[in-house]
Each structure stands twice: as C-alpha cells, then as structure tokens.
A and B are shown apart, each in its own frame.
Chain A
Amino acid sequence: MSDRSSQIELLQQRYRTSLIEKSVEIAELRIQYESTDDDESAALASQTLGDFLHKLAGSAGMYGYTEIAISARNIMMTLQNDDSGQLSAQLDQLIAMCEQASDGTST
C-alpha cells in the first residue's frame, strides 16, 4: 500500500517534469501549424496538434491539472472552428500554464 503511494508520488513527479517537455512540444507543433502554406499540410499539422492536445487533456485531468485539461480541450474546439485569431493567444496561455505547473517540482 505504501508501495503504491510512493509509486503514485513518482508518477506525479514524472508527470510534472514532463509538463515542461510538453510545453516545448506544443510550441513546436504550433510553429509547424502556423508555417504551413498548402491546405493538405495544414490539415495534417492541425490533426497532429489536435491529437497532442487530446492526449494532454486526458492525462492532465487525471493528474489534477484541471486548468490545463480545460484549456487543451478549449483549444481543440478552436482548432475545429479554425479560429486562428484566438488560437495563438490560447496556445500562449497553455504553454505558460504548463511551464508554471512544472515549476513547482524543480525543487
């Protein structure tokens, strides 16, 4: 039992540190998405970003990062509606949230 709680502790710590990597990945996917010029590669980039956000929404929620989960889910909606004006600001916010959440563990 105490074994399980230390396992969970470990998982949590790992997830927290992974958030900084995730923020980097979001930033990269965002550059890909914004730098495409033809429709086909745009659709693909959107799909990749969407998939990543989908996973993030699921796992962040499980680890208690509800804000991140909600934000990721909202950005998925924005992606589907193709609202690029809002998208940029939302992604900025999500990246900042991931960085901030991860900060807490570095000690």
Chain B
Amino acid sequence: MVGDFAVGKTSLTQKFVNNVFSDKYLTTVGVKIDTADVSDTKLVVWDVAGRDALSPINAAYLAGAAGIVLVGDGTRPETIKSFAEIWQTVSGKLGDVPVVVALNKRDVDGWEVTDDLLQTSIQSSWAVFETSAKDGSNVPELFAALVDRINC
C-alpha cells in the first residue's frame, strides 16, 4: 500500500482485513504488516508509511512485493499527482509490477478527480477503483483485482 500520507492506506487495509473503519487519523510509522486470504491465495499486506514532502517512501519496505496498491485521496488532487513520483520509486525497485489504483474517500463531498487529472497521472495498464474505506465500496474489488493480476 503506497501513496501520500492520510489518503487512507491503513483504512483500506483495515477495512479489507478486519472490516473496521475509524474516523480518527493515526499515522503509520515504518510499515505495518497484515495478512488476508483471498480465495486460496494468502495475501501479505505491507501498509507503508505515507509519503510526505520531507520523506519519500523508503524503498526497503517495497522489497519482495508482488504487487502494488497505489492509493490517492479523491478529494485532494495533489495526492493523485504524486503517483508519478511514487511510481519512480516503486518501478526503480521492482520494475513493472502489477498495480491497482484506489481513488479513495469516494463518500466525501468535494470530489475533485477530473478527466485531465486521470489522463496525466494514471497509466493505462493500471486498474482504477473509486473506493471508500468508510462505507467499504469497491474495497474487496480492489484487492481481488490485485490478486488476479499477480496470479496471471
């Protein structure tokens, strides 16, 4: 799980793994590891600390990843523009891994995802989901799509 800080990486993970959601923001330090079973595949989820202006993603936490969930906040366009820079770090380390994109917080007012933004920030090979960790919409689909891509 990679993306800017506070976009909902932890929330999506927790929703998927434990089916819980909290409004309170508790930032992730380093990496937090969780596991879940998707059909007969065991998925080990590395929920990596968010990127911010001062600290880029620590590539060490990406080691051994089979796939990437790129998370952005649909109400903060800047977090989607960050995909390009994050992708540099990821592909530098892992090459062309399977990627799914979560445009998160779909339930919040002030959705600011425009066609222009998608055009410039999202690669055509990526699968894009508009998700909400709060109401759970598209969350299982997001992870299922990633597992599919890893397995084939």
Direct contact, A vs B (beta carbon within 8 Å):
no
